[in-house]
Amino acid sequence: MKRLLLSLLLLAAFAGPARAQDIDAQLKALDARITRLEDANAIETVQKAYGYFVDKAEWTQLSDLFAKDATLEIGGRGVFVGKDHVLDYMHGAFGPDGPTEGRIINHMQFQPIVDVDPDGKHAKQRMRAFVMSNGGWGIPLYENEYVKEDGVWKISKLHGPFTMYSGWDNGWIKNTTPNTRPESFGEPPDLPPTVVYLDYPSYYIVPYHYPNPVTGKPFKPLTQEAGAYASPTQVSLDNPKGSPR
C-alpha cells in the first residue's frame, strides 16, 4: 500500500494537469481506504481492551472505553445509560476495582466483524465472547456500536445477549440459566431490556448488523418455535424446557 502511494505521488509530480487530477483522486481514495482500515483496527483494539479489563476487574479503566452517553446491556438485565452508570453496574456486579484471590472472570473475545460508517465517525462490530467465572461459563454475542470523539474511538452501545450460560457442576447438558431476568440483579437499570429472549437449550440469534457478504441479502429471523420465537406453552422464562433449576 505504501509503495503504491509513493508511486502515485511521483507520477503526480511529473504528470500533466489532467493526469494529475486523476492521480489526485486516486490518492484521496487510497487515503480514505487507509483511514478506514486504521479505524477498524482501533475499534477492534477498544473491544479487546474491554475483555482484558474485565479479566482483572479493572472497572474504572473499562468505563473509560465508553462515550459519556453510552449504553450497556448485558444478558437480560436491562439498559444502563451513561459512562458513570456503566461503572456503577460493574461495581455492583463484581465489587471494587482489582483482582481478588480465588476469583476468575476471564472474558475472551473472538470473530470480530467491523463495519465503519461512510461518515468515519460511527461504526458497528459483531464479536463472540467466551466467559469463565466462579459461577460458571457462558457465551455472549456482542452487537456493539462505536463513536469517534476527538479522533478517538469509544463504545457508544454495548449489547451482549448471552446465548448460553451454565454452572460448572453439570455443564450445559443438564443445567442452564435463562439469563434474561432483570430482577435477578441488584443494580437497577435505567431502561428495561430491549429484547426478551431465551438462551440454550432454546436459542436466540442476535440480529446481524450487516448483510450476507456474498449475496448482499439482509438478515431475516428464523421462524422455528424455539428461543425468542417460542410460544408460552413450549418454554417460559422461569423454567425453559430442558433447563432444570
| pLDDT confidence bin for 120, thresholds 50/70/90 | very high
Q: Is the pLDDT of residue 210 over 70?
A: yes
All domains in the chain, ordered by first residue? 2-229 (3.10.450.50)
Q: What is the pLDDT of residue 182?
A: 59
Q: What is the mean pLDDT of residues 200-222?
A: 86
| pLDDT confidence bin for 224, thresholds 50/70/90 | low
For the question of whether the overall pTM of this predicted structure is more than 0.85, the answer is no
Strands 162-166, 136-149: pairing kind? antiparallel
Q: What is the mean pLDDT of residues 103-108?
A: 92
**Going by C-beta distance under 8 Å and a sequence separation of 6 or more, which residues neighbour residue 138?**
130, 131, 162, 164, 165, 166, 179
Strands 136-149, 66-74: pairing kind? unpaired
Q: Which three cell numbers stand for residue 223?
A: 421462524
| pLDDT confidence bin for 232, thresholds 50/70/90 | very low
Q: What is the mean pLDDT of residues 150-167?
A: 92
